Structure 1
Amino acid sequence: MPNAVEPTLIEPLFQALQKERFVIVCTIDHETGAPNTSAISWVYAPTPDRLYFAVDQRSRIVANVQANPAISIVLIANESTYSISGKAHVKVEKLENVPLKLAAIQVDIEEVRDVMFYGAKISVEPKYEKTYDAQAAAKLDQQVMSALKQA
């Protein structure tokens, strides 16, 4: 049986992307043309057909989406693994009210594909913890997510 393909985020994925979350971002490298993969956590879905995420302005992701808007984001949620594909562009070059120089990237979703292999489900979602000052990390996370929600 083929895995489900949707044009937008299904409700459990939309809900999962209402807060900071571990995802993998895949772009086309602007210099080599090869795949480029990065892990990020500042991601937010304002609507089921759009994502925003924040990265350092100097991130390779920024240069990559400026050269080629094709993007895929891997999300582990809802007991499965999903590939969220679409077109990306820099929405905001520098997020306001954030102490770091972060860009906001907008992804217009074209396809959400369940890519989990047959006969399996995710039993434990990825967890991570910030390895620097917990209080500073929480404050920064709140600032970035607030700025993304207003982008």
Structure 2
Amino acid sequence: MGKGMDKLTPELVELLNGEVLVSLVTIDKDSKEADLGVISWVKASSDGTKVKFALGHKARSAENIQAEPSVTLGLIGAGSCYAVKGKGTVSDIKDGTMKYRIVTVDVESVDDVIFYGGKITTEPAYEKTYDADLAKKLDDEVYELLKD
């Protein structure tokens, strides 16, 4: 796929619109050090210029993005590993089964960052270990919020 793209390819848009694990790197608002989290409620715009994701309303990552909007999203899939960089904006609190904040990232660059000669042959998989009905309810609610 190459380096230095300014938006997500259609293949990466499709990856982000499935159930995928995404690494989230923000700048800690106090220490100014890189802070790593993992998210799964993620959607990409069809044109590949925006990525939206949901966080709990008290998430440290949301506070970090409000203080310093630089965000890096790490993706594993579509045969490689990608760093998606951009600037994030954080919504007001959205009320539902739980309280959420929606982060919208304006994509600035997409780089293939896998080591030379590497290729992803198996994508990461995960399962939700809490109540299945609650998981479905939360997923349905959040993905509806991410549509906007």
Decide: shared fold, TM above 0.5.
yes
Equivalent of 1:103 in 101, 104, 114: 101
Structure 1 residue runs without a partner (length 5+): none
Instruction: Map residues 1-151 of structure 1 onto 2, 5 A cutoff.
Output: 3-46=2-45, 47-90=47-90, 92-96=91-95, 98-150=96-148
For residues 95 and 15 of structure 1, the distance between their equivalents in structure 2, rounded to whole angstroms, comes to: 26
Structure 2 residue runs without a partner (length 5+): none
Instruction: Give per-residue Cα distances to partners, 1:62-105, cap 9 Å, x unaligned.
Output: 11011101110001110100000010111x22235x31110000
Report how many aligned residue pairs link the two structures: 147
Kept in 2: contact 1:20–1:44 (CA 8 A): no
Runs (4+) of structure 1 moved beyond 6 Å?
none
Kept in 2: contact 1:20–1:145 (CA 8 A): no
Kept in 2: contact 1:19–1:145 (CA 8 A): no
Compute the TM-score of the two structures, normalised by the length of structure 2: 0.94
SS at match of 1:103: strand
Compute the TM-score of the two structures, normalised by the length of structure 1: 0.92
Kindly report the root-mean-square deviation, in angstroms, between the aligned alpha carbons of the 2 structures: 1.4
State the percentage of identical aligned residues.
38
